[in-house]
Amino acid sequence: MWRVCLLVVVMLSAWVAPAQAAECPVLLQGDLQKLRSQERIDLCAEFAGKPLLVVNTASFCGFTPQFKGLEALYQRYKAQGLAVLGVPSDDFRQEADSSEETAKVCYVNYGVTFPMSETQPVSGANAVPLFRELAAQSQAPSWNFSKYVIDAQGQVIASFPSSTSPDDPALIAAVEQAIASQR
């Protein structure tokens, strides 16, 4: 009897897993190590079906104070479904040398509550899959604090350069468009 149950479980998991993968947009297929944690952020489980703002960050950049505005934007729209993901990167040589220092800048200095990953490559051939797909759908980040607004179906609807502040009307309009895309 237990063999029949095991066979049913195996058959169901073989049928459900591909269906779940098919429902997950390409952009969100994969995971990232969470900042200062053993946990991983399963991008599909965490963000599929949600409007999302992805930002590549750096602890020692002239744009680092944007963390305050990003947190304010997240607090303003999270009840409407907006998710924000910060991805520290040293691609432009302005990230802290340790995840402890990165975490201090994000969590202590700026009070960030949205998910942050460990430092990742975000441009060029070594970019993590998330940023390769962001580049394919729009453009690769040319500096720290590039911003990508993604609709609930996993498509980039707008991207913004570092100089665009989190309270910029065009960014707010794109975020509101992404929120409106939820089914």
Could you give all domains of the chain from N- to C-terminal order, each with its CATH number?
A: 25-180 (3.40.30.10)
* pLDDT value of position 10: 40
**How far apart are the C-alpha atoms of 49 and 154, rounded to whole Å?**
7
* pLDDT value of position 11: 43
Catalytic residue among 5, 44, 61, 106: 61
- How confident is residue 23, by pLDDT bands cut at 50, 70 and 90? confident
- State the chain's mean pLDDT as an integer: 90
* pLDDT value of position 22: 52
pLDDT tens for 131-173 read 999 999 999 999 999 999 999 999 999 999 999 999 999 999 9
Six-digit token string for 86: 């910060």
- How confident is residue 80, by pLDDT bands cut at 50, 70 and 90? very high
* pLDDT value of position 4: 42
Contact (Cβ atoms closer than 8 angstroms) between residue 14 and residue 110: no
Q: Is 24 a catalytic residue?
A: no
Whether the pLDDT of residue 1 is over 70: the answer is: no
What percent of the chain shows pLDDT beyond 90? 87
**How far apart are the C-alpha atoms of 22 and 28, rounded to whole Å?**
11
Cα-only R_g, the chain: 18
**How far apart are the C-alpha atoms of 36 and 22, rounded to whole Å?**
31
- 146 vs 11, more confident: 146
Q: Across residues 46-68, what is the average pLDDT?
A: 97
